[in-house]
Amino acid sequence: MVNDELISDEQARDVLKRILSLYPDAKGELHWDTKFHLLCAVLMSAQTTDKMVNSVTPKLFADYPDSFALAQAKINEIEEHIKTIGLFRSKAKHLKETATIISEKYDGQIPKDKKLLMQLPGVGEKTANVVLAEGFKVPAIAVDTHVSRISKAFKIVSQNAKPHDVEVRLEELLPKDEWIKTHHAMILFGRYTMPARSKDKNPYHFLPENK
DNA sequence: ATCCCGAGGG
DNA sequence: CCCTCTGGAT
């Protein structure tokens, strides 16, 4: 595309380093205890704030402690638990179907494998990467609306880059041991410092000085 | 490309 | 009112 010049690798790494310097200890904000509940929480977080997910999970997880219990639940009961969050009908369906597969095929254990995770209903690349990173400490960069928006605003990737393109680009720019923490920092930078509604369109105005 | 989809903020 | 929220399936 014309008029879509990307910044250099060196400039991109500098931008990412400065974002990380703002949120050096950033962590995920979803509430969960077991890996199964992590998977459920991340699945429910699509197009919905963490805060809203956290408002429904305590009762949901108390009533359905594991995949075997959730697999037995009725769809309308799950919907009733989560109806205050967006996309609740499809999420309720996906939760039950995923719980059924986890309980029957994996004996209640969450597979530590991206391709297997992505075969679960309602689980795509972003959700799989969050489960791997948060649950298993496996280096991964989950690309969501914030990571995409910020990567495009700084022209680290082209404006028409798909989420997978963004993931590949960021992973080639950063050493593996910085993938997870940079991902977290980008989420918080996008949520609190440079939200989508920002009026200032120069993204560098949101960055701290590079010390 | 379109649909899903309530809550919160501006 | 409009836009956005850690997307995924069809």
Q: Which residue has the higher pLDDT, A149 or A1?
A: A149
Q: Which residue has the higher pLDDT, A180 or A2?
A: A180
Query: What's the pLDDT at A3?
Result: 59
Closest nucleotide to A50's CA, by C1' atom? C6
The answer to whether some atom of strand C lies closer than 7 Å to the beta carbon of A139 is no
- Bases in strand B with any atom closer than 7 Å to a protein CB: 4-8, 10
The pLDDT-based confidence of A209 (bands split at 50, 70, 90) is confident
Quickly list DSSP for A186-201: HHHIIIIIS-TT-S--
Which residues belong to CATH 1.10.1670.10 in chain A?
9-27+140-206
Q: What is the rounded distance in angstroms from the CA atom of residue A119 to the CA atom of residue A106?
A: 13
Single pTM value for the model:
0.96
Q: Active-site positions of A?
A: 126, 144
Please tell me what DSSP assigns to residue A5.
Answer: P
CA→C1' distance for A87 and C5 (Å): 12
Instruction: Return the percent helix, strand and coil in chain A, to nearest 5.
Output: 60, 0, 40
Mean pLDDT value of segment A202-206 = 96
Q: What is the 3-state secondary structure (H, E, C) of A106-151?
A: CCCCCCCCHHHHHCCCCCCHHHHHHHHHHHHCCCCCCCCHHHHHHH
Distance of CA A43 to the CA centre of its chain: 9
> Fold for domain A35-136?
Endonuclease III; domain 1 (1.10.340)
The pLDDT-based confidence of A211 (bands split at 50, 70, 90) is low
Mean pLDDT value of segment A92-119 = 98
Mean pLDDT value of segment A34-48 = 98
Which residues belong to CATH 1.10.340.30 in chain A?
35-136
> Fold for domain A9-27+140-206?
Endonuclease Iii, domain 2 (1.10.1670)
